[in-house]
Amino acid sequence: MKLIIQIPCFNEQNTLLTTLNDLPRHLEGIDEIEYLIINDGSLDETTKVAWDWGVNYIVNFTQNKGLAKGFMTGIDVCLENGADIIVNTDADNQYYGEDIEKLIRPILDGKADIVIGERPIDQNEDFSFLKKKLQHLGSWAVRQASNTSIPDAPSGFRAFSREAALKLNVVNDYTYTLETIVQAGREKIPIVSVPIRVNKALRPSRLSRTMWDYVRTSMLTILRAYLIYKPLKFFQFLSLFPTIPGLLVWIRFFYLYFRYGGAGHVQSLIIGCTLIIIGAICLMIGILGDTITANRKILQDTQYHTRKMYYDGVKQAALKRHEKCMIYYR
């Protein structure tokens, strides 16, 4: 059983060493542990720190591509190098390295394919009162969109089985955390959460410029993911807003028509028709989106089998390699 711990990095020379030193070297049920750094266009000595520490793999981006791109590239490299379990953690030492054992246990026991670390948000002194409430709100929105019970959706401390990693698709450029949970819930991938601990913050979060920018982007990410997996349900709901007023206007028109005659009330008929047409258009968009979603499931299934054949093939070659450190340039 091989575990690869991946760490996306962007200018992390001051915190990366602390994070790496905190990672476990041996875990019960794991035969081999390797370490991967995704250098997302860092301008400092992040790569040198990783090299000197002795990580097994380094992915170098020539420019900053964002957290989601770094995460998915790391997943591909882990699969290519024979990982049976992949753990993603942050480079700022936010999470306890010892908790990786708790994180992978449900996968080893066959109870889940994705495990999310649940932070003690309400007890976290580094989070303001507003941020705590917004974190809870965002997690609630993800639970509604994904039909899961994950209490800490934005947590970046998570583990994936090889099977789950082969099925992952992230189309968002901002972050992978929310979209992967929605995908897991909608695709019926077994997902659970476990309580974890957090360290004192070593630096401010870089995910967004302001709290409101983070909220706005997160809500758009959730909405986009929901539209991908449940377009018919979304547009059915949206179509009610013009359709119901349109029907009420029609009822008013016919009431006045049969009671007083139709003169002077043609405007109601026109407005009602317009609103109902808009509602019908929304419904048609939902039907088209549902058809596209069905085709997407077929493409995902094809992609899964293609990736499985490819990565299972290169896995055997990866197990025979014994280089100190492999460096990838993307």
pLDDT tens-place string over residues 272-290: 899 999 999 999 999 999 9
Q: Helix (H, G, I), strand (E, B), or coil: what is residue 122?
A: helix
Return the DSSP state at 199: P
Confidence (pLDDT) at 46: 92
In the predicted model, what is the mean pLDDT of residues 177-190?
Answer: 88
More reliable by pLDDT, 178 or 257: 178
DSSP H helices in the chain: 16-22, 46-53, 67-80, 100-108, 129-146, 162-167, 177-186, 211-229, 231-260, 266-319
Residues 6+ apart with CB under 8 A from 214: 134, 207, 208
- C-alpha to C-alpha distance for 258 and 98, rounded to whole angstroms: 77
39's enclosing H/E stretch is strand 32-39
* pLDDT over 80 at 217, yes or no: no
Cα 158 to the center of its chain, rounded Å: 11
Q: What is the CATH number of domain 2-229?
A: 3.90.550.10
* pLDDT over 80 at 173, yes or no: no
Confidence (pLDDT) at 317: 64
* pLDDT over 70 at 262, yes or no: no
* pLDDT tens-place string over residues 191-201: 999 999 988 87
* pLDDT over 90 at 174, yes or no: no
- C-alpha to C-alpha distance for 107 and 266, rounded to whole angstroms: 65
Q: Helix (H, G, I), strand (E, B), or coil: what is residue 89?
A: coil
Highest mean pLDDT among 103-107, 141-145, 306-310, 314-318 belongs to 103-107
Confidence (pLDDT) at 187: 85
More reliable by pLDDT, 250 or 278: 278
One-letter amino acid of 163 = E
Mean pLDDT of all residues in the chain?
A: 86
More reliable by pLDDT, 61 or 229: 61
Confidence (pLDDT) at 164: 94
Give the global pTM: 0.82
Confidence (pLDDT) at 322: 57
